[in-house]
Chain A
Amino acid sequence: MSHYERDLFDMQELSETQVTNERPLPPKTFHLWLIAIPLCVAIIWSVTGLNITISRLLDAPSDAWAILRQMVPPGFAEVYERGAVGKIFESVYIAWIGTIIGALISLPLAFLAAHNVAPIWIRSPIRQLFNAIRAVPELILAVILIPVTGLGAWAGTLAIGLHSIGTLGKWACESIEDIDDGPVEATKACGGKWVSGMRWGVLPQVMPIVSSYWLFRFEINVRASAVLGMIGAGGVGSELVSQLSFRNFPAASAVLIMTMAVVLTIDTISAAVRRRIIKGAENTIDEESRTLEAITDLTGIRS
């Protein structure tokens, strides 16, 4: 084998293809078309439903640009006088209380849903409950709750709290399932009851990771509560909606910038605290699969 061939050999081994001395045949392109054609059909079908005319498509960038230009410079003074800062803090408070409600309710439920510590007759209904809650977005929950509680921050808080039960419960339950069974057995061997096993065997193991999930959920909830204001459930969303309705673009951009600043600040602080909590925690296995779902939430769109 020549030097070149040996290199080729190594490379082929690296990419785990079949080892031959000939140049490999290019893969057949049949499958590509099988995917490309449905994709094209899908995009044509979907675009036909959006009432897109050529003129609208061509005007959109200039329309957006016209508004963007009116947004500079942002009118901070005006929105400050209207109490936008208080509204933003209201969003943060909604997220905080919502997270606490979600955390306090989901934690005991998670123990009843984990397959290594709970019997099947209790855990399957609770898992179904988590799944059902997670399926309904906060906004829809708020739409249902507003007539019951009335407009205002409390509707948003309840909606966020309820929705958080689903995700927090699922995450906590997964981390309980990942634990080392030794401490639980040890408590049993000492004659401890089920509750003592949970308190002394499970809780200390999962608490770091679970509390970091709480914080993570708080970050998501800040975004969610900002949005909830748009339908009247308290927080900064209502401020943005009214400024945009009055076409007061400098004020709208000020609200937007302030919201972004608060969201980014909270994200950064919370991420730092979470890193601090997790450093030294043993239960970081399977972090990867959860990250995907976690980022779901991070983005404000929920799964």
Chain B
Amino acid sequence: MNDDLTASARPTKPKPRARSFLIAVLLLALTFWAAFKVSFDLSTFWAVWSNPIWAKFWPIPWDWVLTKENTFDPLIETLQIAVASTLVGCLLALPVSFAMSSLTTPNKVVYFFSRSIMNLVRAVPDLFWAKLLVTAIGIGAFAGAWSLTIFSLAVMVKLFSETVDAADPKPLEAARSSGAKHLPAVRTGVLPTVFPSYVAYSLYIFELNIRASVVLGLVGAGGVGRVIETQRQFFRFDRILGLLVIIFAIVWIIEQISVSLRKRLV
């Protein structure tokens, strides 16, 4: 476009093209329209601080919060949901990921179906799954564990199949050329090289599941979110704040352990 490279004068600014101008106008219009639709309200940023509701968040009733039945039992349930769904989801993800990678897939049909199904599963947000399963199999931690299992499976296969894609194909070739069948070839040729990242991703999924399991209870799928939801309906925001402090302290500790484990793995 600009052949005049030898010119010593300051280069002229390229003029905005009509198309970029049009896109800018469209985006701006979309923004204003969207702001109108969500009842954008700049005054909230100031008005929020004088809202009397904040007084209800304080002081934290520690004698209510620090009891077994109010906080710690639901919290343990939350952890159990996270652990169970991580273990089951990641275990299922191992064969599915191998089916989803072009390197190790047994055939085209399996490859196509596993990929498209998993993409569709991932397009549904996690709490939608929770709500669906709560409706299908009943309120409680069981439905929550199922929904997180499905969702961690979908996320895990996405992450891990990309690692398998990037794995060194030579050991697999070697195994195949020595006459190995498909499964033993994958088992000896690919699995050992990707296994450390498999474990690392599983830990990562565990961290995600811990966070997700906290909010599952908001739609009736068990765990500590159930207590938050109940207290929300009673407008006991002081209790909610206390719960949140405890939850995030514990989530933070678990995450730090998991992160340090992951760092040692990879």
Contact = CB atoms under 8 A, between A and B. Distances in A.
A30 B87 CA distance: 21
B54 A148 contact: yes
B142 A52 contact: yes
Contacts of A49: 76-77, 80-81, 141
A240 B219 CA distance: 12
Contacts of B252: 135
Given A227-B126, A230-B127, A241 B219 contact: yes
A67 B135 contact: yes
Interface in A55-98: 56, 59-60, 63-64, 66-67, 89-90, 92-94, 96-97
Contact of A143 (B133, B171, B204, B218): B218
B251 to A, nearest CB: 8
B186 interface: no
B110 interface: no
B40 interface: yes
Contacts of B88: 43
Contacts of A137: 211, 214-215
Given A52-B142, A93-B38, A226 B125 contact: yes
B212 A301 contact: yes
A263 interface: yes
A63 B137 contact: yes
A15 to B, nearest CB: 7
A154 B142 contact: no
B34 interface: yes
A42 B209 contact: no
A300 B212 CA distance: 9
Interface residues of B, number: 77
Contacts of A149: 41, 44, 48
B87 A46 contact: yes
Contact of A244 (B56, B135, B215): B135
Contacts of B33: 93
A260 B51 contact: no
A299 B122 contact: yes
B40 A256 contact: no
Nearest to B82: A46
B191 interface: no
B211 A93 contact: no
Contacts of B138: 56, 63
A157 B44 CA distance: 12
Contacts of B126: 227, 299-301
Interface of A: 11, 14-15, 39, 42-43, 45-52, 56, 59-60, 63-64, 66-67, 89-90, 92-94, 96-97, 100, 135-137, 139-140, 143-144, 147-149, 152-154, 156-158, 223-224, 226-227, 230-231, 234, 237, 240-241, 244, 247, 252, 256, 259-260, 263-264, 267, 292, 295-296, 299-303
Interface of B: 30-31, 33-35, 37-41, 44, 48, 51, 53-54, 56-57, 76-77, 79-84, 87-88, 119-120, 122-128, 131-133, 135-138, 140-142, 145-146, 151, 154-155, 158-159, 170-171, 174, 204, 207-209, 211-212, 214-215, 218-219, 222, 228, 232, 235, 237, 240, 244, 248, 251-252, 255
